[in-house]
Structure 1
Amino acid sequence: MTVALMWEARAVPGRGGELLEWARAQRLDGTPLRRETFRAPEDRVLVITWWDAPYDAELPELPEPDGELVTRAVHRWRFESLGSA
């Protein structure tokens, strides 16, 4: 089974580039099948990692950034892949 972990944070206005650099510099304990990083308006950063693991497996996730860098707590979601079209 492939599990996708999504991590999304919103930087303090004007610090989106710094949050993006921070997220890219974070190393995980383990190597995902794939890791992709996105950015969006309003200084948002999204990281998705894909893992070959059961849905409820304990998997490494990105930590919370420094509270002075973000406007709110990180949002996290877990999904089971159903394949690609």
Structure 2
Amino acid sequence: MTVALMWEARAAEGRGEELLAWVRGQVLDRPPLRRETFRAPGDRVLVITWWDAPYDASLPELPEPKGELTTRAVHRWRFEPVAES
């Protein structure tokens, strides 16, 4: 089974590039099948990782950025694929 982990944060005002650089520098304990990083207006950064694992598996996740790099706690969601009809 494949499970996708989503990590999304909003940078403090004017610190979007710094948050993006921080995310790119984060190394997980083991590599996912796939990892993609996105950005959006409002200095938001999104990372999605794909894993070959059960939905409730213990998987490495990106941490919360330290200090005042973000304006709020990181949002995290876990998804499983749905068969196409």
| Structure 2 partner of 1:30 | 30
Residues 1:15 and 2:12 are matched in the alignment: no
TM-score using structure 2 length: 0.95
TM-fit CA distance, 1:76: 0.1
Any stretches of 5+ residues in structure 2 without a counterpart?
A: none
Moved over 4 A (4+): none
Structure 1 Cα separation of the partners of residues 34 and 78 of structure 2: 15
Shift of 1:83: 5.7
Counting only pairs closer than 5 Å after superposition, residues 58-69 of structure 1 correspond to structure 2 as: 58-69=58-69
Partner amino acid for 2:65? Answer: P
Distance 1:74 1:35 in 2: 17
Residue 79 of structure 2 corresponds to 79
The root-mean-square deviation of aligned C-alpha atoms, in Å, is: 1.1
Residue identity opposite 2:17 in structure 1: G
- 2:52 alignment counterpart: 52
Identity %: 80
TM-score when normalising by structure 1: 0.95
Query: What are the Cα deviations for residues 13-63 of structure 1, in whole angstroms up to 9, with x where unaligned?
Result: 110000000001000011100000000000000000000000000000000
Gaps of 5+ in 1: none
Report the count of equivalent residues: 84
